Amino acid sequence: MNSTYDIPDSTDWLKTSLSAFEPLEAALRCQVCKDFYDTPMITTCSHTFCSLCIRRCLASDGKCPICRSSDQADKLRKNGAVQEIVDSFQAARPAALKLAREDVALREEHGAPKRMLKRKLDDTDLEEAEEQRPKQSRRTRSQNRVQDSSPPRLEVIDLDEDYEDDNGLVKCPVCNIRMKEESIWSHLDKCDGQSKPSSGRNSRSRSTPSVTNLLQRTPEKEPASALARLPQLNYSLLKENALRKKLQDLGIPALGSKQLLIKRHVEWGNLWNSNCDSARPRTKRELLKDLDTWERSQGGGAPNPAAVVMKKDFDGNGWATSNKSQFDELIANARRKRTPVEKVEMKEDAVDKMETTAAETREFYDNSNLHNDLRRPSEGNEDALSIIREKADQANLDGLTSRSIVNLASRANAHVNTVDEDVFLDAPRDEFIGNSLDSPLHN
């Protein structure tokens, strides 16, 4: 298990003093994988995705996932600016989040902030930004909610002495000119920020040199030996054996049906070519590991149940202790009434067949010693689970309803998990919900 299960999420900002960072972070994430852009590429239709994500999408249906325009992988271009923004944001994120969280804690201890003008200023800026922003499809629910449901917004940036008034004057945050407090609102409407900055603290004068420095310090370096991208093949024109030979030449497993060879070659092309795009290309051995992961989930080793099952120690009860909402109560009632359903074993011959198909391919990856440095699934999963528990506990403390999800998880476990379709259809319906006469929803 790699560390990706400890997932930072844009919603981490919601209950901090920097809730406006939630949409910022959401904008730095790929809409396909929901992760920070990794090797962002821009399409012909000017949409940006991770290289691997868009390559997989285009290999699958040849269309941009956002606007559905047709596009081709060889027309993708790097979006270096976005990469740089993401890198810088990620580097700044932990410290910024820590400060923003501490800030809220501090304010809660010491009551409301004293400088009301600062509050107003900040809120107005945000509202205006909000209105000016073109309507975007990626605006999330939480973004829309920022204004009404977030705790009082507390600023970090304008707490320095720059904003201290001087003879009753306040400084325009854009151009730094001092003026009477009552005139600042009308001034802000017109301010173009062009007036001479009086100190280096103006955000524009500050940011310009640092961006330049950044560019000078980290010029985009091409990999020492530019890697050659793999061309697409016309699989319908290739005989199975010729294709098998191609896979052998590429040094990837050449076993399985033609269908599987094609799927594997496509995925290898996605992995290989996105690695060519990357400013930090990885070794072929690492790419083979990724291909192995793909093989286990979608390729020749695919639906082996053992590969999916990790560890059965999930404690649903711990989450169910503090049910308050009607929603939760309903679920809890259902849980009490549940009747265990026997697990339906997978048909044995089906499993056998899958395992034989997988076995030889598996041999290839195993012989490549790709996994010597990886822990077993169950070991890694414990970490993941404890992180989730911690976060959900936190969410519960904050009065969110995430526990209902877990309740339903444990409730549903008894019914749905491995039940065969046909068994399912005949199952008595009321079993799923149970008797909830004492539910507050009963009225």
**Which stretch in 120-128, 242-250, 290-298, 360-368 sits in contact with other proteins by CB under 8 A?**
290-298
**Which of 24, 32, 238, 279 is in the footprint of Zn ion by CB under 5 A?**
32
**Which of 58, 170, 175, 332 is in the footprint of Zn ion by CB under 5 A?**
175
**Which of 298, 304, 338, 393 is in the footprint of other proteins by CB under 8 A?**
298
- Taking the mean position of all CA atoms in its chain, how far away is CA 254? 33
Residues 6+ apart with CB under 8 A from 17: 100, 103, 104, 107, 153, 154, 155, 156
56 is a site residue for other proteins (CB under 8 A): yes
**Which residue in the block uniquely carries the two structure tokens 């496509």?**
266
Tell me which residues in 225-254 interact with other proteins (CB under 8 A): none
Residue 333 and residue 326: Cα distance in Å, rounded?
Answer: 11
Instruction: Quote the least distance from Cβ 82 to other proteins, whole Å.
Output: 17
Burial 267-297 (b: 16+ CB within 10 A, else e): bbbbbbbbbbbbeebeebeebbbbbbbbbbe
DSSP helix/strand/coil, 29:
strand
Residue 135, Cβ neighbours under 10 Å: how many? Answer: 5
- By CB neighbour count within 10 A (0-12 exposed, 13-18 middle, 19+ buried), where does 435 fall? exposed
Beta strands in 104-199 (DSSP E): 169-171, 178-180
31 is a site residue for other proteins (CB under 8 A): yes
119 is a site residue for other proteins (CB under 8 A): no
Total chain residues near other proteins (CB under 8 A) = 85
Instruction: Quote the least distance from Cβ 146 to other proteins, whole Å.
Output: 11
**Which of 44, 46, 60, 72 is in the footprint of other proteins by CB under 8 A?**
60
Residue 432 token pair:
């799923």
Instruction: Quote the least distance from Cβ 172 to Zn ion, whole Å.
Output: 4
Contacts 24+ apart (CB under 8 A), 260-269: 260/299, 260/300, 262/235, 263/298, 263/299, 264/291, 264/295, 264/299, 264/300, 265/233, 265/235, 266/59, 267/56, 267/291, 267/294, 267/298, 267/299, 268/230, 269/55, 269/59, 269/230, 269/232
354 is a site residue for other proteins (CB under 8 A): no
Tell me which residues in 76-115 interact with other proteins (CB under 8 A): none
Residue 34 interacts, among other proteins, Zn ion, none and using kind-specific CB cut-offs from 5 to 8 Å, with other proteins
Residue 434 and residue 437: Cα distance in Å, rounded?
Answer: 9
Q: By C-beta, is 14 or 121 nearer to other proteins?
A: 14
Binding mask 123-162 for other proteins (x = CB under 8 A): ------------------xx--------------------
Q: By C-beta, is 31 or 198 nearer to other proteins?
A: 31
Instruction: Quote the least distance from Cβ 120 to other proteins, whole Å.
Output: 27
Residue 142 interacts, among other proteins, Zn ion, none and using kind-specific CB cut-offs from 5 to 8 Å, with other proteins
Instruction: Please report, in angstroms and rounded to a whole number, the separation of the first and last CA atoms in the chain.
Output: 48
Instruction: Quote the least distance from Cβ 190 to other proteins, whole Å.
Output: 38
Tell me which residues in 256-285 interact with other proteins (CB under 8 A): none
Residue 282 and residue 252: Cα distance in Å, rounded?
Answer: 16
167 is a site residue for other proteins (CB under 8 A): no
**Which of 110, 217, 221, 312 is in the footprint of other proteins by CB under 8 A?**
312
Q: Which residues bind Zn ion (CB under 5 A)?
A: 30, 32-33, 45, 47, 50, 53, 64, 66-67, 69, 172, 174-175, 191
